[in-house]
């Protein structure tokens, strides 16, 4: 039985407006921690409860398997995902893959290309290039950018020149490698599809009217989380899903666009209401995740952007009680930084913070090593998210090979129980029932168990999942380096942390050259702004404790060669000291406000809505007539009356 209260419970009026908006296009434009993901899951629940769609007709998509997992977990807790007729919440890639398996025409066969570097290498070789692993990776990312941006080999050189792409070889040479790569993937009637092809082909298949009709009668409601990360090719697929319909809810934050190097663009988010003039547009400003101190820093960092596109200016208003001021720490070298951070993590854990509520975030994965060593030294359990390490471990590579081979076998009974097959395959590799003795056997056992936990998760999400699909899902995770969750402190790159939250966050290695990264500085202003957004994403992951650290030299180098990131220049980590509002950073002119650390409007924010808007109007009007700042108008007595919701008293004070 649907619970009529679950849909609106714990939502503010603006969130409720998005949830209850009539069927049709809805856009939620809002900053980090304002409850966008919470809002879309409730909207899905509302559409289902009110009988507007069946759960199975909803397709919710996002961009990483981790984010999709988070979405499914929240939907499950609302009782609308899980066994049976349920909402599909997937990554774009997984949704496309499912569609390909269903609609792929007979007579053509295909398989997923899970390692594209060797194919790129052969294409580069053919063109006569001498390459390194780095330049091959750069070539592969360039191909990814082009395909995500709907650019083919023929147009590549001119578009790359127009966008001043920074490539390891001249643009026309890259175009030839791109062309060779595409050709190499076609072999008669057998195709190799890379991850971008999944999206391209899924869109192509829906040009077939029968397939389009079939698909569109099945899915009637679409939801996209983190819409600022969509690439043009994914938008094309979304358009193919929709056809002429407009039952689409999107949520996003243009200030969190951090994948534009791969073709992602906030353009579609910002132009949504132009495309759908009847859309319900909701802006959320209240930040429910972080303390006002963290919010104030986030506002200052993102507010320092020189230019911004219309629609991206969103000031967050912290809703949580006051917390600790973000703590900066400068170290002589990176070894000292790592051990300083480990000591501080230990301190937090001893004081009662769970290790799983702590994250150490860095700019590039290579930075994790020092921190892993320091945490190990301090006896603190940790897991590295998004590292290549997990999926390249010998036992995991072996396991995946054997699983793939088993899935391809013709003699497999059709309705075989996937979990049992996986267990049977993993047992001889070292997945025993009980923990084995010996450090190596134990490590192997641990990682196979972690793999098994991913399998269990997938089966719980989709009971009756076939072995073939299971293997494909695992491949998708390997491609995204989606390390299975284990207990302990999280180590992750800033990119991998998007959408997540922890009680305590350590942003480490905050030096010029890292944040912003050297390549971005070389590329210019747009790239630097993307680095600023990345820093903002990092700051806004913290609920309560935020530590910012950097070191002045590489250990052993002796001399100080580094300097602190420019993004902290001119920023006051303790806004109270400077007589600024701890929430919005506005100058505090009212002495009472100075004592309380918040400007008048931030102090009444989140209280009685009607009263607040009446007061805002009154205050603005009064301030204008007196020719003074708005902040000078409200007295403390009024604020207390508002906070305690005594409208009559406010009325008499105002009069």
Residues within the annotated binding site for ATP? 30-37
Q: How far is CA 162 from CA 66, 165, 171, in A?
A: 34, 8, 11
Taking the least distance from each CB to ligand ATP, the nearer of 40 and 360 is: 40
Of 31-39, 324-332, 400-408, 443-451, the window that binds Mg ion (rule: CB under 5 A) is 31-39
- Contact between 291 and ligand ATP (CB under 6 A)? no
Q: Binding pattern to Mg ion, positions 589-618, x when CB under 5 A?
A: ------------------------------
- What SS3 state is found at 317? strand
- Contact between 36 and ligand ATP (CB under 6 A)? yes
Decide: residue 285, CB within 10 A, 0-12 exposed, 13-18 middle, 19+ buried: middle
* Partner from ligand ATP, Mg ion, none binding residue 562, C-beta < 5-8 Å depending on class: none
* Partner from Mg ion, ligand ATP, none binding residue 590, C-beta < 5-8 Å depending on class: none
556 sits in the region (left: phi over 0; alpha: psi -120 to 50; else beta) called left
* Nearest-angstrom CA–CA distance, 637 and 590: 13
Q: Residue 592: CB partners within 8 Å, gap ≥ 6?
A: 635, 636, 639
Taking the least distance from each CB to Mg ion, the nearer of 66 and 619 is: 66
Taking the least distance from each CB to Mg ion, the nearer of 66 and 98 is: 66
Least Å distance between CB 35 and Mg ion? 8
Residue from 2, 8, 11, 179 touching ligand ATP (CB under 6 A): that is 11
Q: Is the previous residue joined to 241 through a cis bond, with omega within 30 degrees of 0?
A: no
Taking the least distance from each CB to Mg ion, the nearer of 498 and 598 is: 498
- Contact between 299 and ligand ATP (CB under 6 A)? no
Least Å distance between CB 268 and ligand ATP? 17
- Contact between 43 and ligand ATP (CB under 6 A)? no
Residue 455 phi, psi dihedral angles, 5° rounding: -60, -45
- Contact between 144 and ligand ATP (CB under 6 A)? no
* Nearest-angstrom CA–CA distance, 449 and 461: 18
* Partner from Mg ion, ligand ATP, none binding residue 35, C-beta < 5-8 Å depending on class: ligand ATP
Q: Is the previous residue joined to 516 through a cis bond, with omega within 30 degrees of 0?
A: yes
Cα torsion 259, 262, 266, 272 to 10°: value is -140
- Contact between 575 and Mg ion (CB under 5 A)? no
Of 33-41, 79-87, 141-149, 379-387, the window that binds Mg ion (rule: CB under 5 A) is 33-41
Tokens representing residue 149 in the block: 């941006």
| Helices of type H across 21-132 | 36-49, 65-77, 92-103, 117-126
* Nearest-angstrom CA–CA distance, 287 and 539: 13
Query: How is residue 534 annotated by DSSP?
Result: H
- Contact between 38 and ligand ATP (CB under 6 A)? yes
CA angle 476, 413, 395 (to 5 degrees): 40
Taking the least distance from each CB to ligand ATP, the nearer of 64 and 149 is: 64
Taking the least distance from each CB to ligand ATP, the nearer of 540 and 565 is: 540
- Contact between 499 and Mg ion (CB under 5 A)? yes
Decide: residue 496, CB within 10 A, 0-12 exposed, 13-18 middle, 19+ buried: buried
Residue nearest to Mg ion (CB): 37
Least Å distance between CB 321 and ligand ATP? 13
Least Å distance between CB 287 and ligand ATP? 8
Query: How is residue 589 annotated by DSSP?
Result: -
Of 38-46, 494-502, 544-552, 635-643, the window that binds Mg ion (rule: CB under 5 A) is 494-502
Residues at the annotated binding site? 30-37
532: number of CA atoms within 13 Å, CB side? 25
Residues 305-322: b if buried by 16+ CB within 10 A, e if exposed:
eeeeeebbebbbbbbbee
Residue from 19, 21, 34, 37 touching Mg ion (CB under 5 A): that is 37
Least Å distance between CB 11 and ligand ATP? 5
Least Å distance between CB 376 and ligand ATP? 30
Least Å distance between CB 539 and ligand ATP? 11
* Partner from Mg ion, ligand ATP, none binding residue 34, C-beta < 5-8 Å depending on class: ligand ATP
Taking the least distance from each CB to Mg ion, the nearer of 224 and 548 is: 224
If we measure between CA atoms, which residue out of 311, 299, 394, 380 comes closest to residue 339?
Answer: 380
Query: How is residue 76 annotated by DSSP?
Result: H
Least Å distance between CB 30 and ligand ATP? 6
Site residues for ligand ATP, 195-254, by CB under 6 A, read: 253
Q: Binding pattern to ligand ATP, positions 502-541, x when CB under 6 A?
A: --------------------------------------x-
Taking the least distance from each CB to ligand ATP, the nearer of 15 and 549 is: 15
- Contact in structure between 241 and 206 (CB atoms under 8 Å): yes
Q: How many CB atoms lie within 10 A of CB 204?
A: 16
Least Å distance between CB 460 and ligand ATP? 22
Question: 370-375, long-range: CB within 8 Å, 24+ apart, which pairs?
Answer: 370/334, 370/335, 370/337, 370/338, 371/338, 371/341, 371/342, 371/491, 371/508, 372/491, 373/338, 374/338, 374/339, 374/341, 374/342, 375/342, 375/345, 375/489, 375/491
Residue nearest to ligand ATP (CB): 35
Interface with ligand ATP: number of residues (CB under 6 A): 19
CA angle 110, 116, 118 (to 5 degrees): 115
- Contact between 72 and ligand ATP (CB under 6 A)? no
Taking the least distance from each CB to Mg ion, the nearer of 36 and 93 is: 36
Taking the least distance from each CB to Mg ion, the nearer of 69 and 585 is: 69
- Contact between 35 and Mg ion (CB under 5 A)? no
If we measure between CA atoms, which residue out of 232, 230, 238 comes closest to residue 150?
Answer: 232
- Contact in structure between 64 and 385 (CB atoms under 8 Å): no
What does the binding site for ligand ATP look like in residue numbers (CB under 6 A)? 10-12, 15, 30, 32-38, 253, 256, 288-289, 499, 501, 540
What does the binding site for Mg ion look like in residue numbers (CB under 5 A)? 36-37, 499
């Amino acid at each position: 039985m649907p619970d009529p209260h679950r849909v609106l419970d714990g939502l503010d009026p603006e969130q409720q407006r998005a949830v209850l908006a009539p069927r049709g296009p809805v856009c939620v434009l809002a900053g980090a921690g304002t409850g966008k993901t919470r809002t879309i899951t409730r909207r899905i629940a509302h559409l289902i409860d009110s009988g507007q769609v069946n759960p199975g007709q909803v397709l919710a998509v996002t961009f990483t398997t981790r984010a999709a997992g988070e979405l499914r977990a929240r939907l499950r807790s609302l009782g609308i995902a899980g066994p049976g007729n349920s909402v599909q919440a997937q990554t774009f890639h997984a949704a496309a893959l499912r569609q390909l398996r269903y609609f792929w025409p007979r007579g053509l066969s295909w398989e997923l290309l899970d390692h594209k570097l060797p194919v790129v290498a052969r294409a580069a070789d053919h063109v006569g290039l001498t390459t390194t692993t780095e330049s091959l990776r750069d070539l592969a990312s360039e191909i990814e950018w082009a395909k995500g941006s709907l650019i083919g080999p023929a147009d590549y050189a001119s578009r790359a020149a127009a966008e001043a792409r920074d490539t390891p070889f001249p643009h026309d040479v890259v175009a030839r490698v791109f062309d060779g790569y595409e050709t190499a993937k076609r072999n008669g009637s057998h195709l190799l599809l890379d991850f971008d092809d999944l999206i391209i082909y899924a869109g192509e298949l829906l040009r077939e009217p029968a397939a389009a009709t079939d698909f569109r009668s099945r899915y009637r409601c679409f939801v996209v989380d983190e819409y600022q990360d969509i690439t043009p090719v994914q938008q094309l697929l979304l358009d193919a899903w929709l056809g002429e319909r407009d039952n689409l809810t999107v949520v996003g934050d243009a200030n969190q666009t951090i994948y534009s190097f791969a073709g992602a663009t906030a353009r579609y988010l910002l132009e949504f209401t132009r495309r759908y003039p009847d859309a319900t547009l909701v802006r959320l400003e209240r930040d429910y995740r972080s303390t006002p101190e963290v919010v104030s820093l986030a506002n200052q960092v993102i507010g320092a952007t020189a230019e911004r596109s219309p629609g991206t200016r969103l000031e967050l208003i912290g809703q949580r009680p006051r917390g600790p001021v973000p703590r900066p720490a400068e170290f002589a070298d990176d070894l000292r930084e790592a051990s300083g951070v480990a000591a501080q993590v230990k301190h937090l854990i001893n004081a009662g913070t769970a290790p799983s509520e702590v994250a150490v975030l860095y700019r590039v994965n290579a930075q994790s090593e020092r921190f892993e060593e320091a945490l190990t030294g301090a006896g603190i359990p940790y897991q590295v998210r998004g590292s290549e390490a997990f999926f390249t471990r010998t036992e995991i590579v072996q396991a995946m090979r054997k699983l793939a081979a088993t899935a391809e076998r013709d003699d497999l009974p059709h309705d075989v129980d996937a979990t049992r097959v996986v267990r049977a395959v993993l047992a001889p590799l070292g997945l025993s029932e009980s923990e084995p003795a010996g450090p190596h056997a134990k490590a192997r056992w641990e990682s196979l168990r972690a793999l098994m936990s991913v399998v269990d998760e997938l089966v719980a999400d989709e009971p009756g999942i076939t072995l073939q699909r299971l293997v494909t899902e695992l491949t998708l995770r390997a491609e995204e380096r989606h390390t299975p969750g284990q207990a302990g402190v999280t180590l992750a790159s800033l990119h991998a942390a998007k959408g997540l939250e922890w009680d305590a966050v350590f942003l480490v290695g905050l030096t010029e050259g890292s944040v912003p990264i050297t390549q971005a500085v070389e590329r210019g202003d747009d790239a630097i702004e993307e680095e600023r957004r990345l820093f903002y994403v990092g700051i806004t992951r913290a609920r309560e404790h935020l530590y910012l650290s950097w070191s002045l030299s590489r250990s052993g180098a002796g001399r100080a060669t580094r300097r602190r990131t420019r993004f902290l220049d001119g920023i006051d980590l303790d806004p109270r000291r400077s007589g600024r509002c701890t929430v919005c950073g506005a100058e505090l002119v009212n002495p009472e406000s100075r004592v309380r650390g918040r400007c008048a409007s931030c102090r009444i924010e989140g209280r009685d809505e009607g009263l607040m808007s009446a007061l805002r109007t009154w205050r603005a009007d009064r301030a204008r007539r007196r020719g003074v700042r708005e902040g000078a108008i409200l007295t403390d007595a009024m604020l207390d009356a508002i906070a305690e919701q005594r409208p009559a008293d406010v009325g008499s004070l105002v009069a």
